[in-house]
Structure 1
Amino acid sequence: MNFFEKPHQCLLFAKQDFHPSFEEKHIDVFCGLFSIDIKDNHSNLFYSQQNPLENKPIIKISDNQYLNVYQKQLPSALYDLLYTTLTQTKKEKEQINFRRGKVVLESHTLDIFKKFFKKSKRIKIFTNYYINNEPEEKDILILVDNNAYIIECKASRYREPRRVTEQAYQRIKSDFNDCIQKGYDQCYQVEQELLNNEKVIVSLKNKSEVIITNEIHEIFCIVVTSERFASIQTDLGLMLKRKNNEDPYPWSIYVDDLETFLKVLYNSFSNPSRKIFDFLEHRELLHGRLITNDELDVCAMFLKDPKNFKEICESEYVVFTDPTLQNYFDKLYFDKKLKFRIEDF
């Protein structure tokens, strides 16, 4: 048949096409889960509403004929279906997020920091530890060059906001509290133990170690997330609740952005641990007056001109990031100066 008469011919398939490889009942279930009937009426009032094809990317033409119109969406639709199915209750959701956080996110975050600090000679790393008599297990504590980095990894999912303003805010706030706020609260507990005691006991599974706190010059709290939270993450002054207004803000960042930034720092400076110290020391001053959705824009500001970045942070005016800063890391990548294979970092 002429392509111009039936251009979608190559996207059509029938159930029997897969009979040699799969049982008929399994094919029926698959088609039922991931297809919408061409006769169904889907009314979208707003352009921002979810497209039905995002969850069911196959169109059912007849009882035996289907149109695979949105091929690249099928893996995402499968992931969303599995996540929704496995998180029907709050307990199930917590268990799924726990596994994602502990097994995947925490391991990846630890790997990033180990590689970043590998030039440092004075370093101690504690994972899945307890501090003093605190009953809650914490994720990562890094002591390097007389500075402490308290790191919590949070894999809670950031849901799409509702369209009713009041409901949308409550959902955003709930997701923020379950992820970034909770991570900060856990970091704060460790920070207070380090600040208020001459020595603390860090306990692991099979051993414990005493840390003399007067040897620690500076403490930084870092909350690493598995998803981006846009402006409420880049400017924590919008939602984060601190115990005291004088308490410093943590640094919260999406894990892929963390990896990108630390790779560039590591490859660009002879003393990367000093540079991350300089960045974090000034970065916390921007909260409450920063307008950007992308933390990498802020990172690019620092990398392009550290001195100017410090001056901006120490000023009092509202900061708008330059949209062209997004090109900074893209250029490094296309110039092959930024790579993500493990052996290159």
Structure 2
Amino acid sequence: MFDRESHRDEAEVFSDLESLCHSNGYLHTIAYFCFRDNTVRCGEEIQKEDFLEQYSTDRLLRTEISTLIGLACTVKSNLELPTPAKMQEYIDKTESLLLELHHSMVPDISNLFKLDTNNQLDKSYNPFNKGTFLREPIFYGGESAYHFQYRDLSKLKYKNDEDWIIENKGYSINDLFVVIESISSLQLEKINSILPNVLQKNSDEWTVLDAYIFTINEVEAKLSIPLSKPLIKKVIESFVSIDSYEFKRLDDFNQKNAFPIIKIDDNKYLLFQNYSLLEALYESPFFWFWNDKSYRNTAMTNRGNFTEDFSVSRLKSVFGNNRVFQGVNIIGKKGVTSGEIDVLVLFANRAIVLQAKSKKLTLESRKGNDLSIKNDFKKAIQDSYDQAYLCSELLLSKSYKLEDKYGQSIDISNIEFQEIYPVCIVSDHYPALSFQAKQFLKYKKTDIIKAPFIMDVFFLDVFAEMLNTPLYFLSYLNRRTNYSDSIMATHEMTILAYHLIHNLWVDGADYIHIGNDFNTVLDMSMLTRRDGLDSIHTPKGILTKYQGTTVGKYLSDIERINNPSTVDFGFLLLKINEQSIQQVNETIELICSKSLVDGKNHDFTIGFKNGEGLTIHCNYNDYNTAKEKLEDHARKRKYYTKSKKWHAICIEPSTKNIKFGMSLDFPWKYSKEMEQATSRMVKPLSTFNSKTKIMPKKIGRNEQCPCGSRKKYKKCCL
């Protein structure tokens, strides 16, 4: 246990940890931690509880295990097996030192406050934008990506660098990935079989280290295509570090992150964390290129193109090809380019202005250098945001022309933008990205230009995978940016996971923190979709509650129609709860049934606590008549309830299809004329609840069936 009273200096604790990692046979202890904390153990069926263990506070983070590996490998590897007693001593001491190391990184509480010249508390002082406070979230912030994202995105990231890799490394990109996939498959197989093998031995011989050791012959046997042993060895040794290196403080460059494979002899290797190998596959090749000065500029160009191209691809999967534009130039008078948008998305009266960057957090920043942290953030995020905001402002002006990278004109002259979202995206893992954005980002927002959304390519990948339609995507984007100052989580994935289950609403709360354990269902879903896990494909919640309902059909229709008025109605539908949706469905069925029977107009109206309301008309009227009646009714309802916004929809009785919709959005203002027009108006339903139920009139056996068949009820649906 850690004793707060005997608070030691970080360097002293780190030195003790280094000495421990140099102990005889310590590699067996690292193997124990990898098996305990990086492995999901389950029965025949994988349960949510199996994944919850990965978010236990008792487990070591991968960054902590990587630190142990890095320290252990600064001396010659020792595979001697410790006695069980010595092994337990190593385990206990490691956990104690890592806990002490964590606490030693936390600044003294006195640094949280600052006095002004009058010896009063300086309320403008923010300690969390200081390097001393940022070191901890940077190191302990967790992973940015799933392992399969590093694997799959690497193929896209380096596809244009293949000629250099062939010439300088002696293998193709396909060769590289075939070998890496073979190692991953081999390690998974060994981990799954290690326990039965261990339990057959005497307890003095228990170790799981063998699960992490592999040979060239074993890799060759798992290959999906035949490759020569020398070529396999070239790939493996691209991720083997030099024999000796210095690792004297936590923030030093850890060679084992870039080169995670440990060479035991000419044929045998050791890999503790397959995740680290896939991360190195995504990160390290760029540094190979960087060492070739003649290729640096090309590598930088390819890296930037990847970020932009990948963003375009994922956004097109949500919005379609004709709503996503790349390399957009905003051209003013005399042909002068006033702004450049990397990726522009247009949907109804909404826009996403995305700017892509490929900047990383430098080593000096990881060490807590205030100036370096702010400089890195400016290059990676602030400059990108400033450009996005400028371009968002230009979109609101009618005096500019837009052209994409192919010179094709983009016509926005008829769009009255209601919402514009500036989005900044980075291509690499940027530790504590959302936390740093909250501390450092200087931004503006208006009624139309929303607060910025900062993300990496890995989050965009998951975002577009799970919320893969325009309404779902934009609805979440709206809520996430509106709550940018109210929500805190270790990672953006956690907030998205919460939304998928509970619908993201924090009204009435000034501030909420979302725990990492919400990630479990998202983890299971993504692993099922991308990595062959037989588990949850779609989490129960926001994505399932509309399935098979009239409301669900309306959401699809609204996205197809792509009309600003009905889009607002779609966003309203995504806000209401499951019980309300059920009752809206039942009420639509009721008024359509009535119209089918009597041929008359029927409607219902509900009001919502957030200052919005909804009126639905069901009739056979022609467009002009129906529009006039619906707008008149909606205006009166909006006035009567003193609402700021009112949605109105007209539906066709037999198909229940949306004929058209409108949205009235303007501040309430007193009117003597409207007072008279609404004097006898009945108060609308107040948001559906458990007591709000509209029951249909009882139908006689000999009456016409409400289904519209024109048969008697007793000979039809009865």
- The TM-score with structure 1 as length reference comes to 0.70
Q: Looking at secondary structure, tell me which structure has more strand per residue.
A: 1
* Number of the residue aligned with 2:522: 329
- Please state whether the residue corresponding to 2:490 is helix, strand or coil: coil
What is the distance in 1 between the residues matched to 2:497 and 2:238?
47
Letter in 2 for 1:331: M
What is the distance in 2 between the residues matched to 1:274 and 1:92?
43
Letter in 2 for 1:229: Y
Show CA shifts across 1:194-239 (max 9, x none). 22x1343002343334421652221111122222434332663311
Instruction: Decide which of 466, 470, 484 is 1:273's aligned counterpart.
Output: 470
Letter in 2 for 1:125: V
Letter in 1 for 2:327: N
* Number of the residue aligned with 1:151: 354
Instruction: Decide which of 315, 320, 327 is 1:128's aligned counterpart.
Output: 327
1:234–1:290 CA contact under 8 A, matched in 2: no
Letter in 2 for 1:107: D
Q: Percent identity?
A: 19
Letter in 2 for 1:146: N
* Number of the residue aligned with 2:391: 190
- Please state whether the residue corresponding to 2:374 is helix, strand or coil: helix
Structure 1 portions without partners, runs of 5+: 14-19, 267-271, 339-345
Letter in 2 for 1:126: F
2:252–2:363 CA contact under 8 A, matched in 1: no
Check 1:292–1:76 CA distance in 2 against 1; reply closer, same or farther (3 A cut): closer
Check 1:237–1:193 CA distance in 2 against 1; reply closer, same or farther (3 A cut): same
* Number of the residue aligned with 2:302: 99
- Does 140-149 or 235-244 show the bigger shift? 235-244
What is the distance in 2 between the residues matched to 1:286 and 1:148?
19
- Please state whether the residue corresponding to 1:237 is helix, strand or coil: helix
2:241–2:255 CA contact under 8 A, matched in 1: no
Letter in 2 for 1:257: F
Instruction: Decide which of 509, 512, 533 is 1:319's aligned counterpart.
Output: 512
2:424–2:454 CA contact under 8 A, matched in 1: yes
2:290–2:296 CA contact under 8 A, matched in 1: yes
* Number of the residue aligned with 2:488: 291
What is the distance in 1 between the residues matched to 2:229 and 2:501?
55
What is the distance in 2 between the residues matched to 1:210 and 1:229?
36
What is the distance in 2 between the residues matched to 1:59 and 1:130?
51
Letter in 2 for 1:220: Y
Deviation at 1:67, TM superposition (A): 5.3
What is the distance in 1 between the residues matched to 2:290 and 2:298?
9
Matched, 1:203 2:203: no
What is the distance in 1 between the residues matched to 2:513 and 2:348?
33
Letter in 1 for 2:510: Y
2:329–2:403 CA contact under 8 A, matched in 1: yes
Matched, 1:300 2:497: yes
Deviation at 1:273, TM superposition (A): 1.9
Matched, 1:222 2:415: no
Deviation at 1:128, TM superposition (A): 1.0
Matched, 1:109 2:311: yes
What is the distance in 2 between the residues matched to 1:116 and 1:319?
29
Letter in 2 for 1:222: V
What is the distance in 2 between the residues matched to 1:32 and 1:254?
26
1:158–1:227 CA contact under 8 A, matched in 2: no
* Number of the residue aligned with 1:139: 342
Letter in 1 for 2:343: I
Root mean square deviation of aligned Cα: 4.1
Structure 2 portions without partners, runs of 5+: 1-204, 217-227, 529-534, 540-718
What is the distance in 1 between the residues matched to 2:338 and 2:411?
17
Show CA shifts across 1:249-291 (max 9, x none). 211222222222222223xxxxx32232222222123334433
Deviation at 1:131, TM superposition (A): 0.4
Check 1:228–1:285 CA distance in 2 against 1; reply closer, same or farther (3 A cut): farther
Matched, 1:282 2:483: no
What is the distance in 2 between the residues matched to 1:31 and 1:144?
49
Letter in 1 for 2:461: E
Deviation at 1:136, TM superposition (A): 5.3
* Number of the residue aligned with 1:68: 269
Matched, 1:261 2:475: no
1:290–1:319 CA contact under 8 A, matched in 2: yes
- Please state whether the residue corresponding to 1:212 is helix, strand or coil: coil
Deviation at 1:299, TM superposition (A): 1.1
- Please state whether the residue corresponding to 1:100 is helix, strand or coil: helix
What is the distance in 2 between the residues matched to 1:59 and 1:231?
32
What is the distance in 2 between the residues matched to 1:82 and 1:297?
29
What is the distance in 1 between the residues matched to 2:460 and 2:307?
12
What is the distance in 1 between the residues matched to 2:298 and 2:355?
17
What is the distance in 1 between the residues matched to 2:312 and 2:514?
29
How many residues in Structure 1 have an aligned counterpart in Structure 2?
304
What is the distance in 2 between the residues matched to 1:275 and 1:77?
34
2:488–2:514 CA contact under 8 A, matched in 1: yes
1:198–1:213 CA contact under 8 A, matched in 2: no
- The TM-score with structure 2 as length reference comes to 0.37
What is the distance in 1 between the residues matched to 2:418 and 2:338?
26
- Please state whether the residue corresponding to 2:467 is helix, strand or coil: helix
* Number of the residue aligned with 1:170: 371
What is the distance in 1 between the residues matched to 2:328 and 2:511?
39
- Please state whether the residue corresponding to 2:323 is helix, strand or coil: strand
- Does 178-187 or 74-83 show the bigger shift? 74-83
Deviation at 1:298, TM superposition (A): 1.0
Show CA shifts across 1:148-170 (max 9, x none). 111122222334555643x2x33
